[in-house]
Structure 1
Amino acid sequence: MNTRLISLIIFFCLVSVSQGVAQDTAKGTVFVDSNGNGILDSGEKGMAKVPVSNGKEVVLTNENGEYSISIDENDAKVFVIKPSGYRLPVDERNRPQFYYLHKPEGSPELEFDGVSPTENLPDEINFPLLKADTKEEFRVLLFGDPQPYTRQQVEYFDRDIVSELKDARGYAFGITLGDIVGDNLDLFKPYTQSVAKIGVPWFNVYGNHDMNVDVQSDSLADETFEATFGPATYSFNHGDAHFIIVDDVVYPRKDGKSGYIGGFTDRQLTFIKNNLKHVPDDRLVIIAFHIPIFLPDESGRTFRVENRDRLFDLLEDYPNTLSLSAHTHIQQFRFFDADERWHLVNPHVHYNVGTTGGDWWSGVADERGIPHTLMRDGTPNGYAMLNINGNDYTLDYKVADKPADYQMSLWGPEVVPQNSWHGAQLFVNFFMGNEYTEVEYRVKGEQSDWRTMNKVEEQDPHVAALRQKWDRSDTVLEGKRPSNPVSSSHLWKTGVPNNLSLGKHTIEILVTDMFGRTFTDEYTYKVVKPER
């Protein structure tokens, strides 16, 4: 090979490198932190075959716990994917410490502070893990959209939700499913101070109201989130479950429209693909993001369906899956099958979780001074619980400031005329209901058989009545007017029997949920003589 040809090859190689992203290499050790000081001390052992990622590639540590992975030399993140049987260190606000942000010059100048300059890449980025007695059976707290716009609303969240969970026992960790705050990112601090009181490690999902909106690139929209919580896309294991947390808010949009849209980037999908290579196919795979993957949503914005199809392709070898979202401020389930390009026989379950902030902290305040904030579909504000046993799960919903057995609301007439047409109906809103829920009723003491109630897609009349109170008032009511009602996906109704003796009667309600569990309630009304 002549000298001129060699020179040309070198030239084109240099041009190719200069046109790409400048690369650096992060190195370090994943180790068992025996004394819990966060430092790799002499005698502490490295852990083999632990995944480490840069948000795209995933590598495994060697037999000494060492890893090496390429990163962007100007803006990168490196994180460990926690294996089962171990726990992550947490800071003073119970935020898991599993990552390193590499941003030599820091975030650009923004309205809200981002990542401070990290300067040169450290020679070693070590990740400590702590031994833990992880059980196959555990519970996870799920919060949808606290979304406070003011410090007063942070206080509502603290008093209404966090106060009843303070120093909670029996939970492995918690996840807030995005819209942690309402555009004012300075509220991240009081939010984290509040959630820390629960006393368990807390993971956070990035939402559309958690964005730095004064940016021109989607890669910069999460700068304040990263500075507060770390990477917006990552994963970890616990028991026989594998959790994948994904930022699915794309901002700005690239389709010529303003605002944001739900979707995944090629980098995220590559990360999920590489990540799943190290997840056995008998694990329960749980994907958590903010914007739901069904189309369209009621705000007129949508999720990019081609991204959902690619996600489903990646999950085709995993028969046990669940996806979680928030965003809508209602509660609903979706079951994806072959019509939506889900590849397995059993549908993929998507749970769109009701919110801790309810209907954006609206409505008349209760005796505590906290707005009722009933959601538009009739779901009261509260939080969910994911109960995992091996690769199986159940879900519960807890209404704020109510007993745990408050699982449905009933709406019907106080009186009906005996043996006369009246048209009055009894409505049952079972907050965790869906098409796999059965609702039955019978008149107590009448030795009648259980009858099936009709599932309907209608507005909950209780929600409609509350809104009418605001519109028909001749004075301005205190608080924020609630949003207009929407059709509920967990509503049942039936006619109220009036071919009974005069006096009080009680209708028994029996609900069987999607997991085969039963719940009961009662509704009392009067049968009276008809007007002549």
Structure 2
Amino acid sequence: MINTLKLTLLAGLLTAGLTAQEQAKGYVFEDLNANGKKERKEKGIPNVAVTNGEAVVLTDAKGRYALPVADGDAISVIKPAGYALPVDANNLPQFYYSYRPQGSPQSDFKGIAPTGKLPRSLDFALTPTDEQQSFTALIFGDPQPYTQQEVDYFAQGVVAEVEGIQDVVFGLSLGDLVGNDLDLFNPYIDAIKRVGIPWFNLMGNHDMNFDAEQDALSDETYEAHFGPANYAFNYGKVHVIVLDDILYPDPRDGKGYWGGFREDQLRFVENDLKHVAKDQLILLAFHIPLSEPEGDPFRDADRERLFKALAPFENTLSLSAHTHIQRQDFFTKEDGWLREKPHHEYNVGTTSGDWYSGKLNAAGIPVSTMRDGTPKGYAFIHFEGNQYTVDYKVAGKPEDFQMEIFAPKVVAQGRNTKAGIYTNFFMGSATDTVEYRVDQGEWKLMQYVEEQDPAYELSVYEWDTAEQLIPGRRSSNPIKSTHLWRGSVPAKLEKGTHTVEVRTTDRYGKTHTGTTSYRLE
């Protein structure tokens, strides 16, 4: 019995050793005829990074690579600048091979089907393209539909507005692609493919397998639809790193989730950045912000290690979503950032807004303004070499609608009032300049305040004071906005209507304007 047990353990150790030594080998090649198969006349591409999700290697002079691979890994190519990835019929980029010899573990939602043995040559096709250093990307925060009806709201209220868009090279959704029901992944894909451009995705806390007992298995259904949750690619002088920053189950108590990274993910970032030129812009994308003002949403040690990996790079930007508000964060040395130039994190407003709440518009779609007064919408990031600017587009509004101005409707003439004129500049932060003038008078600075947006407050409390049910669903209670300014109401003017003009100047030097009015009686 003892000898049999020893032999069984030895066999198990040998099997584990053989699995650990398994190698994925193949080529990264120029796919001249776009058939996805390497043919003799098609040359390999040297110095292209390939990863197993932790280690990162470069292809040799003939485009060959070799990487260790184990059950549960994904081998993916890190697209170099000047090449395009193939996309499938749904416009999802094809840059990976998920290795699951026996398939994903059984779960409430189906994962990856059995892949069997590794291919003898695991090749990645790329197509040479005239890739410009000036380009634009389209960014969606949290589509997060919980039902097919909400998928339709997303498709009709947001996707239809950008369907067939020109001069945008790729799109990216920042997680919470759906709301817990992973069967909605396919309806989401059907909606997003209509944009008509290559579309990248990342995993949010509502896209996970909640029955997974370890974090590494929480993305099996996500990966079956979209590929690995951690990957990278280059475009122009921008190096994009996409990460799953949700630790599930929470390693502290096994309940819920926590923001942060596993050891293998941090090693992936560190290994990847070894092969990136220091003058590149490093664009990080994940779901949970690196920092939130309340609670303990992110593991400090992981943020510190990430910042250390980014320290050699002068130009960085991170994108997050998750909060269903819009915010600009700037990390300095006081926050653990290791460079003089602060690190900018843009917490992007969501395409679902305040979870598809609020009144219905003329098309029957919820207005869904967020709790900080930001209307639902999406962002454009414009890259110029290793620099960038950002624009926010409110869904269903003209491009120049960049602020909501609130003023009292009527004020007593000649009498001081505690009422104020408020400007919610959706893309703003405390460093921006906001001015106003009345009746083309002198421009005056408005005061930056962190308060609840009165225009949003009014819209919410309308539900509480209505004597009949309002179609739609009551919005969430208001919270303090990080992009709100206040000015006093001039009351010592003539009776009648007075025009208020507001102009904002953002961190990129772009100016935006808006108008409203109030009446003196």
Whether TM-score is above 0.5 comes out as yes
Partner of 2:130: 133
Alignment counterpart, residue 493 of structure 2, candidates 476, 490, 500: 500
Partner of 2:396: 401
Q: CA deviation at 1:230?
A: 0.2
Alignment counterpart, residue 284 of structure 1, candidates 273, 281, 300: 281
CA distance change for structure 1 residues 19 and 85 in 2, over 3 Å: closer, same or farther? closer
Distance in structure 1 (CA, Å) of the matches to 2:190 and 2:196: 11
Alignment counterpart, residue 39 of structure 1, candidates 37, 40, 48: 37
TM-score w.r.t. structure 2 length? 0.96
Matched, 1:121 2:118: yes
Alignment counterpart, residue 96 of structure 2, candidates 89, 94, 99: 99
Q: CA deviation at 1:473?
A: 2.4
Partner of 1:524: 517
The Cα offsets for residues 82-118 of structure 1, whole Å up to 9 and x where unpaired, read as: 0000110000000000000110000111111100000
List runs of 5+ in structure 2 lacking aligned partners.
1-8
Distance in structure 1 (CA, Å) of the matches to 2:136 and 2:464: 42
Partner of 1:375: 370
Q: Amino acid of the residue matched to residue 111 of structure 2?
A: G
Q: Amino acid of the residue matched to residue 375 of structure 2?
A: P
Q: CA deviation at 1:296?
A: 4.5
The Cα offsets for residues 308-334 of structure 1, whole Å up to 9 and x where unpaired, read as: 000000000101000000000000011
Q: CA deviation at 1:174?
A: 0.3
Partner of 1:273: 270
CA distance change for structure 1 residues 20 and 119 in 2, over 3 Å: closer, same or farther? closer
Matched, 1:219 2:212: no
Alignment counterpart, residue 475 of structure 1, candidates 468, 473, 498: 468
Partner of 1:4: none
Matched, 1:415 2:410: yes
Alignment counterpart, residue 200 of structure 2, candidates 197, 200, 203: 203
SS state of the match for residue 322, structure 1? strand
Q: Report the more deviating stretch, 222-231 or 253-262.
A: 253-262
Distance in structure 2 (CA, Å) of the matches to 1:323 and 1:88: 23
Q: CA deviation at 1:477?
A: 2.7
Q: Report the more deviating stretch, 461-470 or 336-345.
A: 461-470
The Cα offsets for residues 265-289 of structure 1, whole Å up to 9 and x where unpaired, read as: 1101101111001100000000000
SS state of the match for residue 505, structure 1? strand
Q: CA RMSD in A?
A: 1.6
Partner of 1:147: 144
Q: Could you tell me whether the CA contact under 8 Å between 2:20 and 2:68 is conserved in 1?
A: no
TM-score w.r.t. structure 1 length? 0.94
Distance in structure 2 (CA, Å) of the matches to 1:499 and 1:416: 10
Q: Amino acid of the residue matched to residue 323 of structure 1?
A: S
Distance in structure 2 (CA, Å) of the matches to 1:289 and 1:32: 30
Q: Report the more deviating stretch, 27-36 or 103-112.
A: 103-112
Alignment counterpart, residue 71 of structure 1, candidates 51, 57, 69: 69
Matched, 1:26 2:11: no
Q: CA deviation at 1:36?
A: 0.5
Q: CA deviation at 1:293?
A: 0.3
SS state of the match for residue 193, structure 1? helix
Q: Amino acid of the residue matched to residue 338 of structure 1?
A: K
Q: CA deviation at 1:470?
A: 1.4
Q: CA deviation at 1:443?
A: 1.7
Q: Could you tell me whether the CA contact under 8 Å between 1:235 and 1:242 is conserved in 2?
A: yes
Q: Amino acid of the residue matched to residue 381 of structure 1?
A: K
Distance in structure 1 (CA, Å) of the matches to 2:37 and 2:363: 46
Q: CA deviation at 1:13?
A: 13
List runs of 5+ in structure 1 lacking aligned partners.
1-10
SS state of the match for residue 209, structure 1? coil
Q: Amino acid of the residue matched to residue 413 of structure 2?
A: Q
Alignment of 1:286-325 (within 5 A): 286-297=283-294, 300=295, 302-325=297-320
Q: Could you tell me whether the CA contact under 8 Å between 1:385 and 1:395 is conserved in 2?
A: yes
Q: Amino acid of the residue matched to residue 385 of structure 1?
A: F
Q: Amino acid of the residue matched to residue 146 of structure 1?
A: P
Alignment counterpart, residue 62 of structure 1, candidates 60, 63, 72: 60
Matched, 1:157 2:154: yes
Q: Could you tell me whether the CA contact under 8 Å between 1:149 and 1:182 is conserved in 2?
A: yes
Q: Could you tell me whether the CA contact under 8 Å between 1:296 and 1:302 is conserved in 2?
A: no
Q: CA deviation at 1:20?
A: 10
Partner of 2:4: none
CA distance change for structure 1 residues 295 and 423 in 2, over 3 Å: closer, same or farther? closer
Alignment counterpart, residue 452 of structure 2, candidates 444, 447, 459: 459
Q: Report the more deviating stretch, 166-175 or 437-446.
A: 437-446
Partner of 2:6: none
Q: Report the more deviating stretch, 214-223 or 436-445.
A: 436-445
Distance in structure 1 (CA, Å) of the matches to 2:254 and 2:483: 33
SS state of the match for residue 187, structure 1? helix
Q: Amino acid of the residue matched to residue 352 of structure 1?
A: N
Q: CA deviation at 1:246?
A: 0.3
Distance in structure 1 (CA, Å) of the matches to 2:296 and 2:150: 26
Q: Could you tell me whether the CA contact under 8 Å between 1:50 and 1:81 is conserved in 2?
A: yes
Partner of 1:8: none
Q: Could you tell me whether the CA contact under 8 Å between 2:407 and 2:517 is conserved in 1?
A: no
SS state of the match for residue 462, structure 2? helix
Q: Could you tell me whether the CA contact under 8 Å between 1:143 and 1:383 is conserved in 2?
A: yes
Q: CA deviation at 1:474?
A: 3.1
Alignment counterpart, residue 515 of structure 1, candidates 508, 513, 520: 508
Share of identical aligned residues, percent?
48
Q: Amino acid of the residue matched to residue 71 of structure 1?
A: V
Q: Amino acid of the residue matched to residue 453 of structure 1?
A: M
The Cα offsets for residues 178-220 of structure 1, whole Å up to 9 and x where unpaired, read as: 0000001111101111111111000001000000101111111
Distance in structure 1 (CA, Å) of the matches to 2:497 and 2:326: 34
SS state of the match for residue 69, structure 2? strand
Q: Amino acid of the residue matched to residue 395 of structure 1?
A: V
Give aligned pairs, total. 513
Distance in structure 1 (CA, Å) of the matches to 2:500 and 2:299: 45
Q: Could you tell me whether the CA contact under 8 Å between 1:261 and 1:303 is conserved in 2?
A: yes
Distance in structure 1 (CA, Å) of the matches to 2:152 and 2:502: 36
Q: Could you tell me whether the CA contact under 8 Å between 1:263 and 1:307 is conserved in 2?
A: yes
SS state of the match for residue 22, structure 1? helix
Alignment counterpart, residue 187 of structure 1, candidates 162, 184, 187: 184
Q: CA deviation at 1:348?
A: 0.2
CA distance change for structure 1 residues 115 and 335 in 2, over 3 Å: closer, same or farther? same
Distance in structure 2 (CA, Å) of the matches to 1:20 and 1:470: 64
Partner of 1:5: none
